[in-house]
């Protein structure tokens, strides 16, 4: 007889919501994984997202760039700290589903970071998973050692009652996808054709509305991809005694393994399908911050070393479970001048092997101009 993992089924109550609302506007300092953007930390983050742009990891290449050294991909800041709106409502599941980033500074190798997070709102939604659902909002501000604001992210996390989601079973028919030989060849070909614009400037004047970006493929998603991403962002709740202390502080965030009887972090839903199934998703699934980082890979590949990613917002609308493949695509929708900048807006589509858009988004990129270049 197979037993399911034991999960705490918390409820969304008015008392719990009042405690959450009492923290609106109150800054706090979240856990920091990588205080320094060291060469090793940057490389591990890039490789954890499957991004082999040499500007992130090849010292000789980077020395010949306009920076003269390695820089970090914009979403490296998730490797500094990644608040996801899980404060309050113990035992109520959290799906990090939205980001709205503004970047102001390049992340240089050996920059040192501080991070402050500010809860801002919680909004009731008419969700489809079952029970009461609330969208939890916050703002995360990253500063470097020069006290410059490097970036601000307005985050979104859906809070869902686990028991209600399990009972409704909206996602009960999800299974791991079985690929044909032709589908696997398509994935191989897309990996082979991936392009990094790199040191060849993509000039604003050469871009046209309607241009398609070279797609980036991610998948089929597996456990190694998840482990590498966790390594890339600097880890999670820690191991052994560190994990034990974390679970003592947050016992309702745990899931009890039916075979060993031990309490494990709820992060296991990203590795083990039986743990994910216990909260209403039959197959283990990715992290929101992981998929958002893939969108950054798509854009930085296209814009080249001399471009600057200014804005990116995205929403995870469907689960990306083990076995799924995501094809990230982009289309130029607008080009314009603003002040001394030459800007391009891009619509992002993230289509899985079923043709579903699992993560739509938008980006704004500042590109070099031939006028300014000369």
Residues 6 or more apart whose CB falls under 8 angstroms from that of 194 comprise 214, 215, 216, 217, 301
Dist. CA 202–CA 296, nearest whole Å = 17
The residue ranking higher by pLDDT, 102 or 242, is 102
* Secondary structure (3-state) at 117: strand
Q: What is the pTM of this model?
A: 0.95
Span between the terminal Cα atoms of the chain, in Å: 73
> Are 188 and 116 contacting, i.e. CB atoms less than 8 angstroms apart?
no
pLDDT band at 170 (very low <50, low <70, confident <90, very high): confident
Which bin fits 87, alpha (ψ -120 to 50), beta or left (φ > 0)? beta
Walk me through the domains of the chain, giving residue ranges and CATH numbers. Answer: 6-373 (3.10.129.10)
Mean pLDDT for 18-32 is 94
* pLDDT tens for each residue of 92-128: 988 999 999 999 999 999 999 999 999 999 999 977 7
Looking at residue 1, its pLDDT comes to 43
User: What's the CA gap between 203 and 306, in Å, rounded?
Assistant: 9
> What pLDDT was estimated at residue 224?
95
What percent of the chain shows pLDDT beyond 70? 99
Which residue would you say has higher pLDDT here, 340 or 247? 340
């Amino acid at each position: 007889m197979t037993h399911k993992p034991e999960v705490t089924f918390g409820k969304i109550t008015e008392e719990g919501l009042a405690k959450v609302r009492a923290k609106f506007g109150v800054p706090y300092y979240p856990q920091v994984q990588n205080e320094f953007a060291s060469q090793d930390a940057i490389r591990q983050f890039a490789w954890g997202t499957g991004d082999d742009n040499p500007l992130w990891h090849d010292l000789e290449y980077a020395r010949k760039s306009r920076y003269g050294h390695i820089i970090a991909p914009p979403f490296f800041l998730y490797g500094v700290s990644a608040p996801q709106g899980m404060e309050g409502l113990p035992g109520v599941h959290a799906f990090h589903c939205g980001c709205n980033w503004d970047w102001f500074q390049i992340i240089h190798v050996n920059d040192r970071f501080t991070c402050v997070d500010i809860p801002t709102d919680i909004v009731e939604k008419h969700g489809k998973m079952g029970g009461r659902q609330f969208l939890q909002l916050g703002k995360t501000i990253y500063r470097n050692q020069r006290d410059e604001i490097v970036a601000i992210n307005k985050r979104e996390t859906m809070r869902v009652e686990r028991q209600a989601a399990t009972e409704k079973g909206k996602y009960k028919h999800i299974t791991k996808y079985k690929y044909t030989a032709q589908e696997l060849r398509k994935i191989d070909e897309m990996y082979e054709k991936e392009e990094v614009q790199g040191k060849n400037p993509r000039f604003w004047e050469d871009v046209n509305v309607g241009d398609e970006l070279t797609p980036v493929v991610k998948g089929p998603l597996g456990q190694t991809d998840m482990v590498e991403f966790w390594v890339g962002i600097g880890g999670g709740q820690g191991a052994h005694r560190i994990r034990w202390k974390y679970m003592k502080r947050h016992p309702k965030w745990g899931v009890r393994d039916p075979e060993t009887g031990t309490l494990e972090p709820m992060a296991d839903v990203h590795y083990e399908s039986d743990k994910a199934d216990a909260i209403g998703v039959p197959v283990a699934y990715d992290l929101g911050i992981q998929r958002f980082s893939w969108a950054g890979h798509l854009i930085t590949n296209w814009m080249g070393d001399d471009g600057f990613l200014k804005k990116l917002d995205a929403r995870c609308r469907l689960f990306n479970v083990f076995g799924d493949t995501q094809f990230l695509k982009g289309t130029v929708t607008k080009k314009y001048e603003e002040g001394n900048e030459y800007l391009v807006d891009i619509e992002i589509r993230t289509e899985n092997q079923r043709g579903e858009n699992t993560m739509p988004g938008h980006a704004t990129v500042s590109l070099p101009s031939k006028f300014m270049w000369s």
